[in-house]
Structure 1
């Protein structure tokens, strides 16, 4: 059930992360496209398969509102298919430079999903919309709540367009219980890390190890499982202090904290 998202050990290449998972007895990995490209998609898929690992997600596609590159998103779908990943995580993008029009940005996201969904269906890839905490609305994700992500996903087959429940982004939401219940059958991924305070100057690196912050992981896990999710649980942590530590030590700490708190 425990999966290592590569960002938690950002200094490792994909081969190093695969070997680290094997050493730590972790059976699944969330792959990022940049380190995948460094070794080549086909070779990366071989390394993961040879190690006996599952791919819980490929990160990431999206950025429809800024880069607006559907060709790159199609390549990401192809890569997810090659890896046999459970889903392709979509970070939808923030406001275009100079824009203050949130409604237009959200419409663009919906249009992009509509264009990509048939391509994903043909390749048996599940697109997974990730709502992001409102602090990232301007620069990374104009979908700020699980309700918004589900509103966008609902016109599509749940096997083609789902959502990611990331504790860091959704723990604060007063509608969380109701929206996770609404997401039954559509949860494509479940990611965990903690919300720590005080926030660092770079909020992108504000994620903490489970137990170091304020999130009730067991409560959210129970909600997600009640909604029918049975997949892997990824630990995805962007944290400069963790990135400076020995990655094997980070994996050991991660496994202990996962058992204690998740």
Structure 2
């Protein structure tokens, strides 16, 4: 298999994607275990090569699909290799995509909880330092399709705020898990299509954000390197005094 410019050798037994965790390729593989193999990491469904929240979504979608439908996401596996970063924007965006996809179609009993999760994401998105209009639009479009759940969330958690640490460790993973499950059990004829589209769309969006954030960081470094070094006046005085001795 060719991955980028590198030819990655396939294992002796090419595993078929299946649900759950597998001890080795001979026992089968899930989406993220195959990603760990392509990345050259130790066989694991929690590889370092992929953003943890995106990997969570991939595992959940993998396990929510049937054996007949799971081949539809195989082509996405190479796209998550190396797709990671520590900027809060990535966690917020992944959670927004998940919650927005689930809110309009999730069973009524789940919609209120999903709306609260999406409202929390929107609060954080509004405070992001970078471009955020697209995330706010996604949230508002989802709320427009579930107005009663949105109204309930506003009454229940209008002023609720969570810290970045709590969001990363608890809120975002719970939102993604609840969202994927909500789509999977939704009474819609295209639940499988929606799950596949959710994963594909989130991967593309995460890639665009990672590339933009990396470009912005590189630009800051270049600008800092281009600035002329200025010696503080006190250091200049000290140098002159020493020269005059």
TM-score bracket for this pair, using the shorter chain length:
under 0.3
Larger Rg computed on CA atoms: 2
Q: Comparing both structures, which one devotes a greater share of its residues to strand?
A: 1
Q: TM-score, normalised by structure 1?
A: 0.24
